[in-house]
Amino acid sequence: MIFTVTFNPSLDYIVRVDEMRLGTINRTNYEQLLPGGKGINVSIVLGNLGHPSRALGFSAGVTGVALEKLLADAGVDADLVHVKEGFTRINAKVKAVEETELNGQGLRIAPEDVDALFSKLDVLGQDDTLVISGSVPNTLPSDMYEQVMERLAGRGVRIVVDAERDLLTRVLPYRPFLVKPNNHELGDIFGVTLKTRDEVVPYARRMQEMGAQNVLVSMAGEGGVLVAADGQVYQSPAAKGTVVNSVGAGDSCVAGFLAGLMETGSYQTAFRMGLAAGSASAFSDHLATRSEVEDLMSR
Ligand SMILES: Nc1ncnc2c1ncn2[C@@H]1O[C@H](COP(=O)(O)OP(=O)(O)O)[C@@H](O)[C@H]1O
Ligand SMILES: O=P(O)(O)OC[C@H]1O[C@](O)(COP(=O)(O)O)[C@@H](O)[C@@H]1O
């Protein structure tokens, strides 16, 4: 069974404006409200691809109620800890000539809420996969991901991590099954700018030497690189298409990779399915569906 953990779920409020001007009123010409947060998106896309998962995390307030309603509508099996104070954040994504995101800092999660989440992790064991993904509210200790990995150590759980900077590097000694930085996040870790797939390969290898079993580096319109546990390096450009909304493309990439690996056992196919799922999400106003992913893979 696959479990996802999102420490900082959101409602994503996606709007389009012809021109974004600061310091004045901007009127939108399109708006959409979607469930959000990295692990949550992974669960949605896994479901779209025919693989059930359970989404764990936190919610609070009226926005938390709305989030759970949207997840139920999307057929996601969500088991969120209800935090007493505050409200689930709303992340605003403004699409104009450029894309601007305003991501909230998130909930004030109490120690007993963390305990409640951890007790839900106690059922995980051999053959289970856990995806821990996204930011951690700044009211929680910065070693949250390590605490999760420490708790699951020795139980044979395959752990996937999609996070930035220290959250990511600090889990590497626990030998996560998969990490998925994008090229900017990978470059930030090593203090370099990575633009091409060839430039990414040596740094992805370094992440593997530091402990990750598989390193999948997504590169938006440039496609991606996989340094796999089988010793192979796979590279691919991205599918060509018109980008409608790239929010959730990275999460879709993780879901596509896991689905492809479960279905075929092949890292190469998993990589292709990951990239196709990312592109399918980027090319539409919803997260990737199975038929969209298969269509892109067949091209
Ligand atoms: N502009 C694009 N054109 C084609 N595919 C894209 C585009 N943006 C994203 N993708 C696909 O989605 C994947 C993940 O996107 P990326 O932006 O790298 O992730 P993240 O959201 O984590 O930064 C890419 O590897 C690619 O396959
Ligand atoms: O936890 P963070 O880093 O603030 O990111 C949360 C945001 O990322 C998303 O999960 C999308 O992530 P990706 O575009 O990287 O796939 C949004 O749904 C959400 O608003």
Whether residue 41 has its Cβ less than 6 Å from ligand 2: yes
Whether residue 41 has its Cβ less than 6 Å from ligand 1: no
What spacing in Å lies between the alpha carbon of 248 and ligand 2's midpoint?
6
Place of tokens 């450009």: 237
Please check whether residue 57 is in contact with residue 9, taking contact to mean a CB–CB distance below 8 angstroms. Answer: yes
Q: Looking at residue 91, what is its pLDDT?
A: 97
Whether residue 93 has its Cβ less than 6 Å from ligand 2: no
Name the CA radius of gyration of the chain, rounded.
Answer: 18
Catalytic site residues?
Answer: 251
pTM of the predicted model, to two decimals?
0.97
Q: Looking at residue 26, what is its pLDDT?
A: 95
Segment 153-184, tens digit of pLDDT: 999 999 999 998 999 999 999 999 999 999 99
Q: Is the pLDDT of residue 17 over 90?
A: yes
SS3 79: strand
Q: Is the pLDDT of residue 299 over 90?
A: no
Ligand 2 atom closest to Cα of residue 133 = 1
Whether residue 186 has its Cβ less than 6 Å from ligand 1: no
Q: Looking at residue 283, what is its pLDDT?
A: 97
Please check whether residue 183 is in contact with residue 201, taking contact to mean a CB–CB distance below 8 angstroms. Answer: no
Q: How far is CA 26 from the centre of its chain?
A: 30
Ligand 1 atom closest to Cα of residue 274 = 27
What spacing in Å lies between the alpha carbon of 104 and ligand 1's midpoint?
22
SS3 12: strand
Whether residue 253 has its Cβ less than 6 Å from ligand 1: yes
What spacing in Å lies between the alpha carbon of 197 and ligand 1's midpoint?
13
Whether residue 185 has its Cβ less than 6 Å from ligand 2: no
The one-character DSSP state at 120 is H
Place of tokens 């996606």: 14
Q: Looking at residue 100, what is its pLDDT?
A: 93
Place of tokens 């590497």: 172
What spacing in Å lies between the alpha carbon of 36 and ligand 2's midpoint?
7
Ligand 2 atom closest to Cα of residue 246 = 14
Segment 37-91, tens digit of pLDDT: 999 999 999 999 999 999 999 999 999 999 999 999 999 999 999 999 999 999 9
The DSSP code sequence of 142-190 is TTHHHHHHHHHTTS--EEEEE--HHHHHTTGGG--SEE--BHHHHHHHH
- Range 2-298: architecture per CATH: 3-Layer(aba) Sandwich (3.40)
Reported ipTM:
0.97
* Per-chain mean pLDDT for the chain: 96
Region of residue 190 (phi > 0: left; psi between -120 and 50: alpha; otherwise: beta):
alpha
